[in-house]
Chain A
Amino acid sequence: MTSLMKPGAPDRRRVRTHGGTAGPRGGGRTAPHPRRKSSRAPWLYLAPALVVLGGLLAYPIYQLGLISLFHYTQAQVSGGEPTTFEGFGNYARLFGDEQFWQVLLATVVFAAACVLCTLTVGCALAVLLTRVRAVPRLALMLAALGAWATPAITGSTVWLLLFDADFGPVNRLLGLGDHAWTYGRFSAFFLVLLEVVWCSFPFVMVTVYAGIRAVPSEVLEAASLDGASQWRIWRSVLAPMLRPILVVVTIQSVIWDFKVFTQIYVMTGGGGIAGQNLVLNVYAYQQAFASSQYSLGAAIGVVMLLILLAVTLVYLRLLRRQGEEL
């Protein structure tokens, strides 16, 4: 965190101390440092976006944090009981709940598996797209876009039907009789993983494909002239060149898959047999909205936010350490 701030911090200080004098009159003078002249301009340009972001992001997050510090249920919202300040009581209750830790662990492992599979499938198909002719490429693109465009609820329902114990074609194809896929913990998670990967790989595929297209063909040609295998080309040429794109799709996937809700909710009937397939988001929904314990739900939300921020920051920092500019 601090090392990330360091390069920016002195700059900001300088801007602040000189900004006053260089302000309105500064424009007419020939400024010794061109930087001073425009010290306010970037902020002016950014202002509309900042106002929108502040309103749509900062304020709700502030409210979320605020609510998580109170005892705030439906009775408090509708004025049946006074709102009481609890400090970190909700967090203490959450961290003292054994189920929360189980759900957190399941969420992390499940999200990691989803991210890994999504990236693998997405990248593999992106490379494949560059190697096939126009017609199959178009077909693959259309199929992927179809999957991408399918609403999560529809997709989940269709997958569930495909794997239905009584009527599902998958069981008939594999000769599994009336095997129930959603009964076992891992098979239910596996089913959801398939759906999550199916509906999120197109984003990775399209983005990475666009990235590969931007790589100069001479580089690839040179690599294959040197006798590099497909895997070698990906590993030593494409992946390093596509790094910024891969970073974006990885972070996106991490955030998406960590927050998965619809698929689990629909496919495992709100968390599976005895709650074995609960992930954090569904758990938070159960606590916050179904049980009207808004403050506890807010606390779960804050914890999720912090985890995702931490993951993103650690990931960015690891990349910086490897000397990559983003």
Chain B
Amino acid sequence: MKLSARTVAVAAVLATAACAPQTSGTTSSDKDEKTGTLRVWLFQEVNNTPKEQVVDTVLAEFEKAHEDTEVTVEYIPVETRAQRIKAAFNDPGSAPDLIEYGNTDTAGYVKDGGLADVTEEFAAWDEAADTDATARQSVTVDGKVYGAPYFVGVRALYYRTDVLDELGLDVPRTQAELISTAKEIRAARPDLYGIAVGGAYTYGAMPFIWAHGGELATGKGGSYASAIDSAAARKGIEAYTSLFGDDNCPAAKCAGMGGNDTVTAFASGKAAMAIGGDFSHAAVEAGKVKGKYAVVPLPGVAAGSVAPAFAGGNNLGVLKSTSHRTLAVDLMKRLASKKAQGALFEGMGFLPTFSDVRQQAAAKESFVKPFVDTLAADTKFVPASPAWAQIDSSQVLPTMFQEIVSGKKSVAAASGDAARKMNEAFGSAG
């Protein structure tokens, strides 16, 4: 028995040394074919037809410009995009040439070795000069560009005009006023949340941290360090978490809510205010509160200032494994061009990433004005580190907010723990 145990151990070591788990070899392709079929994956939106029309127009021009090329577009469901895109990285043989991806995923996909570096092409692209700074930041990792911004999404304050009128309240101009207004509404109308907030609504909470001068993390390139437990960030966390309670949004209900839940609460008339995106406009319009609400930029700390918003949105990127690099980059530029983004805004309401195109859009559609103003004021982005995906999916920040609002931990203790977890992730993922 003794002998065999040793034999087993030796065999196990040999076995593990002999064959490491599978890896999909080198993914960058050295071929650059100028004809053939290009495969494109775009996200399937809720009402996708206008998007398809915009894309089809671009494709027709593209195919006309390049002889003997064909483009097949597949609209992939948003819910399963992570699996699909990971699978594409794992199996370059059946991967597309060009993909649409969420802009918080950039650093992670770059680390996975999935996206091609298009710094030169992006610099040489004449339209790119008008790309706004945050959108550019969302395609940049370590000073290199890995795609073209496709559209941006930003959040602002939705409020019920009828409720504020009825109670004789003014639209809040500072965060302190926002909090006091919310509580006054709740006191007068206990059937409403003053402002619907969610313990799992990270992107709704970030503007509070940023408005107080805090940051999620500081640093550049490969070395980030969490700043979530800094004095300024803690003030923002305190401001946000003070909105949870029986005097505004009871923790028992609101601690578990995410962004969609707060928008749903507002749209169904259960909340007097909410932080919602330009992309939430359709959902609110379809709800009970249609015609009884307005939108302003989320106020900052000083009167009249705007809280820095998170600039979400999607990018287009060429896969490293493509065998049609030149064609794919050209198609990317055409799909993300000013003209196409303008058309996409008209069809889908997605905000363009070019400052000038966005201004034109705001002139046409009045509902986007507060969002465009928010974008013009100041926007911020999550740390451009592959660790962000891990921090996001292991729910570090929601856990922190929930620990505070449920009374399990103090702001100092919870933010300290969150900072430690973030630093661990930064350390391991680089």
Contacts and interface: CB of A to CB of B under 8 A. Distances in A.
Interface string A170-212: 0000000011101100000000000000000000000000000
A292 B393 CA distance: 9
Contact of B395 (A79, A165, A178, A286): A286
Contact of A78 (B16, B112, B253, B399): B112
A178 B254 CA distance: 13
Contacts, number: 110
A70 B253 CA distance: 42
B112 A80 contact: yes
A291 B390 contact: yes
Nearest to B28: A79
Contact of A75 (B19, B26, B112, B256): B112
A81 B15 CA distance: 22
Contacts of B253: 165, 178, 180, 183
Contacts of B19: 66
A67 to B, nearest CB: 5
Given A80-B112, A80-B114, A183-B255, A274 B402 contact: yes
B47 interface: no
Interface residues of B, number: 42
B256 A269 contact: yes
A290 B403 contact: no
A254 interface: no
Interface in A267-308: 269-275, 286-287, 290-293
A101 interface: no
B187 to A, nearest CB: 18
B89 interface: yes
B23 A85 contact: no
A39 interface: no
A252 interface: no
The 5 A-B pairs of least Cβ separation, nearest first, read: A80-B113, A78-B89, A290-B393, A274-B402, A180-B252
16 contacts: A66-B20, A72-B21, A74-B89, A77-B22, A77-B23, A78-B24, A78-B90, A80-B111, A165-B253, A179-B252, A180-B253, A273-B406, A274-B398, A274-B399, A274-B402, A286-B395
Given A79-B113, A165-B253, 4 more contacts: A80-B114, A269-B200, A274-B399, A290-B394
Interface of B: 15-17, 19-27, 86, 89-90, 108, 110-114, 199-200, 250-253, 255-256, 386, 389-390, 393-395, 398-399, 402-403, 406, 408, 429
